[in-house]
Structure 1
Amino acid sequence: MDSATMEQSVGAIKQRILANQFTQHVVVNVAKLVNMRKDKTLADSVRHCDIINIDGMGVVWGARLLGHDVPERVAGVDLFHNLNAMAEKEGLSVFYLGAKQEVVDETAWKMRKTHPDLKIAGVHHGYFWDDEEAVVNLIKKSGAQLLFVAITSPKKENFINKWQDKLGVKFVMGVGGTFDVVAGKVKRAPVWMQKAGLEWLYRVLQEPGRMWKRYLVTNSQFAWLLVREKLKR
């Protein structure tokens, strides 16, 4: 994982794009780290990335507990906004892939409203698994330089890793549920909960049926892994 601030991350990504250097990006949180231990395909997809940011206060605190200097959390949704602002400034085009069609359309509309000079090369929903290659070709033909993939894990990581050479973009990043947040379909936790590392709890309270197992189970497993590692040291 890359121990970096938001500013350092955006700067590194910008430098690589302008240098015509392909960048496969991913953010990791507690759930993803735990799932990587039993899902080899997901683990390989994450490890093949050029930049791995830490999205999740649990990982930040865990790393610090084990003696690693992690300056801050780089949340995927915040990085998405920062990279779109950078793309507008540098005249780079973006492509939004994922979520339902109405959600990705609303995301594009809101991003144009916030960034009037942003070049949006195209949008496409995230339900295309019967013909992945057609969507890959659509992205390539769009001429987009940055691709944001809003699909659940591990599908997005594996899709990006599988097709990275065929996408024709300079930067690709999985952004999970970011489009739902930007489009206003899902509310983000208050800032105080984000800083306190309780954003996961806010999501569980919003969608208990879908989220309780993902967060409560993986958080418990991660805590046990930290205890074991700390005792070893």
Structure 2
Amino acid sequence: MSKANIMGVNFDAVTLTQAADQAMEQIRAGRKGYVVTPNPEIVYQAMEDPDFQDLVNHASLVLADGIGVIYAAKILGKHLPGRVPGVDFAGLLMHRMAQEKMRLFLLGAKPGVAEMAAENLKKKYPGLVIAGTKDGYFKNDSEAVAAVNAAGGADVMFVCLGAPKQERFMSKHQKELNVTLCCGLGGSLDVFAGTVQRAPDIFIKLGLEWFYRLCKEPKRIGRMMKLPLFMLLVIRKKLFGGKES
């Protein structure tokens, strides 16, 4: 499977279906690992923090979540088939898991959100077993690890703590967690719970999901400013070069 190095982050050049195929293969084989879904903001964080970049690049799957990553790939002449949004990857993965009655644990979001998501997902994916839930407001990691293992573990755990916290959690604790595959999915639990609505399809197709979210949540402007800065750094690299990290 080929990789595309975008500003130091090694993305897997896969489609949504290929990503789900590979994840299912890993789960069935019982190979522990974790999935990351970097957008430009996360790539920018990785550029500034070599340790964070290293743990991102050690993931089993590195999926191009943001349209800015796809634009960067085109500018740099790297091949990526297209976006693989984390929420879409999770949806297809749950569909596949339900067919084999696999177990899923939900970790993250505000109190009550994971439980709401669990109820919705059980209805949407009959056969999917929700092993348990835990909100993201725990005082220390050991509390969360204990909750997962006490629930009997799971084939997959969605870790929705936001970057870089979720990536650090997965990397640090994957060996002690009774979970085969952890997936870092940011705010996806809010979407599954129905507390946050995804952008209309037309925005998604045009690669403007980020703009829709900004309009709905203007306070995100500080974070969104990383996108033009990221693109400027990509263009500078294209024009003037520089070593790959």
Higher mean alpha-carbon deviation, 130-139 vs 167-176, is at 130-139
**SS of structure 2 residue aligned to 1:146:** strand
Tell me the distance in 2 between the aligned counterparts of 1:175 and 1:64: 25
Q: 1:177 aligns with which of 187, 193, 198?
A: 187
Q: 2:73 aligns with which of 54, 63, 68?
A: 63
Write out aligned runs for 1:52-201 (5 A).
52-128=62-138, 130-141=139-150, 142-201=152-211
Q: How big is each residue's C-alpha offset from its partner over 1:27-75, in whole Å with a ceiling of 9 and x where there is no partner?
A: 1111111111223342232122121010011101210221112111100
Structure 2 unaligned runs (5+)? 1-10
Q: Which runs of 4+ in 1 moved over 4 A?
A: none
Corresponding residue for 2:34? 24
Q: How big is each residue's C-alpha offset from its partner over 1:193-213, in whole Å with a ceiling of 9 and x where there is no partner?
A: 11222111111111112x101
Q: How big is each residue's C-alpha offset from its partner over 1:173-217, in whole Å with a ceiling of 9 and x where there is no partner?
A: 1110011111111111112211222111111111112x10101x2
* Identical-pair percentage: 35
Deviation at 1:92, TM superposition (A): 1.2
Deviation at 1:101, TM superposition (A): 2.3
Corresponding residue for 2:234? 226
Paired letter, 1:222: F
Higher mean alpha-carbon deviation, 135-144 vs 10-19, is at 135-144
**SS of structure 2 residue aligned to 1:16:** helix
**SS of structure 1 residue aligned to 2:107:** strand
**Number of equivalenced pairs:** 230
So what's the TM-score if we normalise by structure 2? 0.90
Tell me the distance in 2 between the aligned counterparts of 1:196 and 1:42: 30
**SS of structure 2 residue aligned to 1:158:** helix
Tell me the distance in 1 between the aligned counterparts of 2:133 and 2:96: 19
Tell me the distance in 1 between the aligned counterparts of 2:216 and 2:55: 29
Paired letter, 2:142: E
Deviation at 1:113, TM superposition (A): 0.8
What is the CA RMSD across the aligned residues, in angstroms? 1.3
Corresponding residue for 1:214? 223
Paired letter, 1:140: N
Q: 1:203 aligns with which of 176, 196, 213?
A: 213
So what's the TM-score if we normalise by structure 1? 0.94
Higher mean alpha-carbon deviation, 15-24 vs 73-82, is at 15-24
Tell me the distance in 1 between the aligned counterparts of 2:161 and 2:215: 21
Corresponding residue for 2:8? none
Tell me the distance in 1 between the aligned counterparts of 2:45 and 2:141: 24
Q: Does the CA contact (< 8 Å) of 2:134 and 2:147 recur in 1?
A: no
Q: Does the CA contact (< 8 Å) of 1:6 and 1:74 recur in 2?
A: yes
Structure 1 unaligned runs (5+)? none
Tell me the distance in 2 between the aligned counterparts of 1:93 and 1:186: 25
Tell me the distance in 2 between the aligned counterparts of 1:68 and 1:192: 26
Q: Does the CA contact (< 8 Å) of 2:39 and 2:69 recur in 1?
A: yes
